[in-house]
Amino acid sequence: YKWTDANGQVHFGDRPPAEKTAEEVAINAEPPGKDAAASERIRKMNEFLGQRQAEREVRQAEEAKIQRRAEMQEARCRKLKAQLKHMASVSTFYNLNEDGEKVFVSEEDNTRIRERFSQRVRQACGKS
């Protein structure tokens, strides 16, 4: 709104004054100085920022996937190492026959079982 006070001073406001009559003024919705080139720059900048955000989200998802794999591998290694430690405490191994009776394996088989399991742990977890 536009109005003139008693002193001849022109005023503008978003509401008309209570005691005066005011002229309604149409406001151009587009900010002054905004041209096609500026609009294009803003559009390109927003497009660039959107691409960067998408790349960041992809990278974060990939990093999270790698982290989950590493955690699963670490848990698997802890389990294998615990089994290896248990195997070291066992003096001999056995199999169950058809009747459910224990059949102890030879000393040679004991050694082979331990070596194979140790090799499995090294392959899965690296040298430890």
49-74, pLDDT tens digit by residue? 999 999 999 999 999 999 999 999 99
pLDDT at 19 over 80: no
- Co-location of 12 and 73 in the same domain: no
C-alpha span between 81 and 79 (Å, rounded): 5
* 50 plus 113 within the same structural domain: yes
92 HSE (CA, 13 A, CB side): 10
Q: Is the domain of 88 the same as that of 71?
A: yes
Q: Are residues 82 and 110 in the same domain?
A: yes
74-128 pLDDT, tens digit each: 999 999 999 999 999 988 999 999 999 999 999 999 999 999 999 999 999 986 5
Are both 81 and 105 inside the same structural domain?
yes
- Mean pLDDT of the region 27-40: 73
Contact 93, 110 (CB under 8 A): yes
Structural domains in the chain (count)? 2
**Residue 35 shares a structural domain with residue 22:** no
